[in-house]
Amino acid sequence: MVSHRSLAASLIFLAACGGGDKKVKKPKPKEESMQKPPEETEASREMKRKSARLAIVPEGSNCLPTALKQQGAPKLELASVGADAVLCAIDGDGTRLLGPVGCWKVDLKNMGDGSVPILYQEPAPQPGHSISAKLHDGCAMGFCSPGKNAAGTAQLSWNADSSKVAMLAGTDVHLFDAASKKHLSTFGIAGDKGVSGEATAIHFVGDAIVVEGGNDGNAWVFKADGTTTGVINALGGKDEKPVSTKRGSFSVLDGGKIGLADHGMDTFTVYELETGKRTKAVRKPAKLACKPSEIDAYWADGDKVTDKCKDGIAKAAGPWIGATAVMGKKNLLFALEGERLGELAVVDPRTLAETKKALKMPWCGGEPAGEAVAPAPARKAAEDAKEAAPKSSSRAPVKKGGDPEDGGD
């Protein structure tokens, strides 16, 4: 049995040794090392886009990078800038939307036998062409709509002298001064005689705004003040129907004309925006191992035909689906797609017949552009290409000193 005196002595001893109630120092809380990332700005987004563009098309490349052959690569579009034909790779990948990735002047003056050199230019939006861009708080590529759309995708197009920009956001078109980015006006594209279905592209050509959209890829024309001209109808037949560019193409031919092709290049309708005049050319059908009903079925859904027929149509029409053109003095010059990507075709606008020899542009690494069509004398090809060069005009070229995309997304 422990005495009271022994217990007291033990407690005194524990107290002298520090006891069990000694306070342990707690470590000081670490200061927060994770800081919020800097807020993204239009300038920072443009820097990221530029870096991504250079990864696809290195600056100064006087050849087409093979990256343009990959699935989802930027699309090659042909534009008329003054007296020059300019080819640009335009990005349409919805995950990035880089805008113009690379541009080249087509040097028709120094073309050879079935080949044509291209000269690198600083990437920039080309007159009348549609550029897709991401919206951030209602702003795309530095142009801000008064409606402040939170997000989504906008389509932008510069006019001939790059002084004004039209932006399509939802069902509204906004016009801006290109230099100051000041908002000038807004008009809607829906309603009577307006766009039916989703709008997919915008083109600022002359004093008109052309909007593509709908399930069949139709085109509606508006004046810059918002006055509706209406949908572009095809010529021929008892009841005129809108021209369909679904599995066809849309081209800005020059400062006052556009071209709409259907079924690859079965027909080609030229529309003059100032007067509304239409001309239509019909291409001689290719010899195909198909029944007439199979051809109709192919363009309707693409499946209910034999493989032999399907392959024949794809070979004949594939290079023309999405092919863009510019108007020359006598001929059309097309940038082809598909298996003939990297080729330029000179086409008679009355018959849509291609000249006997296409012009191949150089691929980086010396890779071929594709199979050439039947050869023709070099002198004849040179003459045809010269006729296909864009007509000179009083329109000022796109300014290269400043990047219209600067500081925006």
Q: How far is Cα 253 from Cα 324, in angstroms, rounded to an integer?
A: 9
- Listing DSSP states for 342-400 in one string gives TEEEEE-TTT-PBPSS-EEPPBTTS-------S---HHHHHHHHHHHSBPP-SSPPPP-
Higher pLDDT, 302 or 19: 302
pLDDT digits (tens, 9 = 90+) for 217-255: 999 999 999 999 999 999 987 778 999 999 999 999 999
- CA distances to 237, 245, 291 from 297, rounded to whole Å, are 20, 17, 10
| Proportion of the chain above pLDDT 90, given as a percent | 63
pLDDT of residue 28: 60
Q: How far is Cα 391 from Cα 175, in angstroms, rounded to an integer?
A: 28
pLDDT classification of 137: cutoffs 50, 70, 90: confident
Report whether 174 contacts 183 (CB < 8 A).
yes
Q: How far is Cα 164 from Cα 224, in angstroms, rounded to an integer?
A: 11
Three-state secondary structure of 35-90: CCCCCCCHHHHHHHHHHHHHHHCCCCCCCECHHHHCCCCCEEEEEEECCEEEEEEE
pLDDT digits (tens, 9 = 90+) for 250-296: 999 999 999 999 999 999 999 999 999 999 999 998 888 888 888 88
Report whether 90 contacts 131 (CB < 8 A).
yes
392 pLDDT above the threshold of 70: no
pLDDT digits (tens, 9 = 90+) for 123-132: 999 999 999 9
What one-character DSSP code corresponds to residue 115? B
Q: Calculate mean pLDDT across residues 81-93.
A: 94
pLDDT of residue 9: 46
| 41-388 to CATH, choices 1.10.3470, 3.40.50, 2.120.10, 2.30.30 | 2.120.10
What one-character DSSP code corresponds to residue 306? -
Higher pLDDT, 54 or 402: 54
Global pTM?
A: 0.81
354 pLDDT above the threshold of 60: yes
pLDDT of residue 377: 37
Report whether 56 contacts 67 (CB < 8 A).
yes
395 pLDDT above the threshold of 60: no
Report whether 297 contacts 306 (CB < 8 A).
no
36 pLDDT above the threshold of 90: no
pLDDT classification of 305: cutoffs 50, 70, 90: confident
Q: Which of 60-69, 87-96, 199-208, 290-299 has the lowest mean pLDDT?
A: 290-299
Q: What angle do CA 122, 126, 131 make, to 5 degrees?
A: 100
Q: How confident is the prediction for the chain on average, in pLDDT? A: 84
Classify burial at 37, counting beta carbons within 10 Å of its beta carbon; exposed 0-12, middle 13-18, buried 19 or more: exposed
- Listing DSSP states for 318-341 in one string gives GGGTT-EEEEBSS-EEEE--GGGT
DSSP, collapsed to helix, strand or coil, labels residue 142 as coil
What does residue 313 show for φ and ψ, rounded to 5 degrees? Answer: -65, -40
339 pLDDT above the threshold of 60: yes
Query: For the chain, which residues make up each domain, given as ranges?
Result: 41-388
| Proportion of the chain above pLDDT 70, given as a percent | 79
Helices 307-317 and 292-300: angle between axes, nearest 10 degrees: 70
Please name which of 73, 79, 78 lies closest in space to residue 96, comparing C-alpha atoms: 73
pLDDT of residue 60: 95
Its sign, for the CA torsion 62, 68, 69, 75, is negative
pLDDT of residue 391: 54
pLDDT of residue 27: 63
Q: Which residues pair with 202 in a beta bridge?
A: 211
